[in-house]
A and B are shown apart, each in its own frame.
Chain A
């Protein structure tokens, strides 16, 4: 699944941006400090994942859900993350729903679009036959 170990590193530029957003203007981060924070972030991701899987297994669930993640954060003293995460989740759910709907609409459009596309490719084939 993971082919190279670098695939597990989080992108440096994004980490740098997130840190910068959190700090007052004019402050900076040394390379080593940024690397340490990035590593800490990966460890944090693994940490809450394994805690959430343990939680889900306790309830005989095979799939871990957003609810498991939120509950885990509460249990691990990161409850300050929960309110803003709950909000973000609502936005995410809405986005996924909208996407599904627009996809359904696109499918209708695509079926008509495909017809024109295939006819144009037929023209291309005819052209190349003429050329031959």
Chain B
């Protein structure tokens, strides 16, 4: 029952990735969009129809200026967008393993993503106990219950009690 919950596949990551792609397209088509924006603005000034299509580019423009402001920083933002957790921090945690000699960047990325999925599934699992108690706020007790109920979380037994 509860353990099945942990292994659901409907992670909310996919829409994120979609946005990522969208942003890619947006950035590559930046120049073109600027042109169309100007055109649409001038249409708006001619003032025949103040439809949402006129408002949209205006609402978008701050985002565009953010991407145009510096191509160097936008590359960094790209890194941050693929993973929400900082990969450098994860690499430091991984280096705690004395047997680890070298970890490829892809391995660090995979661990980072896995940890994100882990946090989400543990939260979901804990929330089933919160909901059972007819509460809205997850308490530490719910997390403990989730950990002791799911076999694959056995490795956490006792790890959180200090």
Chain A residues with a Cβ under 8 A of chain B? 1-2, 7-11, 14-15, 17-19, 21-24, 26-30, 32-33, 35-50, 52-54, 57, 62-66, 68-70, 73, 76-81, 83-85, 87-89, 91-93, 95-96, 99, 102
Q: In the complex, which of the residues A33, A79, A95 has the most CB atoms of chain B within 10 Å of its own CB atom?
A: A33
Interface of B is mostly: helix
Chain A residue nearest to B104 in the complex (CB) = A65
Given the complex of chains A and B, what is the CA–CA distance between A39 and B144 in angstroms?
12
B86, B94, B102, B123: the one within 8 Å of A11 (CB): B86
Number of interface residues of B (CB under 8 A): 67
Chain A residue nearest to B84 in the complex (CB) = A14
Interface of A is mostly: helix
Given the complex of chains A and B, what is the CA–CA distance between A46 and B156 in angstroms?
11
Contact between A50 and B97 (Cβ–Cβ < 8 Å)?
yes
B96, B101, B117, B143: the one within 8 Å of A37 (CB): B143
Contact between A77 and B85 (Cβ–Cβ < 8 Å)?
no
Given the complex of chains A and B, what is the CA–CA distance between A23 and B6 in angstroms?
13
Q: Does B60 contact A (CB under 8 A)?
A: no
A-binding segment of B36-44, B49-57, B61-69, B131-139: B131-139
Chain B hits for A7, CB < 8 A? 89, 92
Chain A hits for B137, CB < 8 A? 27-30, 33
Question: In the assembled complex, how far is the CB of residue B68 from the closest CB belonging to chain A, in whole angstroms?
Answer: 16
Question: In the assembled complex, how far is the CB of residue B47 from the closest CB belonging to chain A, in whole angstroms?
Answer: 40
List the 5 closest pairs (A to B, CB-CB), nearest first.
A77-B152, A80-B7, A22-B120, A66-B106, A32-B140
Question: In the assembled complex, how far is the CB of residue B87 from the closest CB belonging to chain A, in whole angstroms?
Answer: 10
Given the complex of chains A and B, what is the CA–CA distance between A23 and B12 in angstroms?
11
Given the complex of chains A and B, what is the CA–CA distance between A120 and B107 in angstroms?
44
Chain A hits for B101, CB < 8 A? 53, 62-63
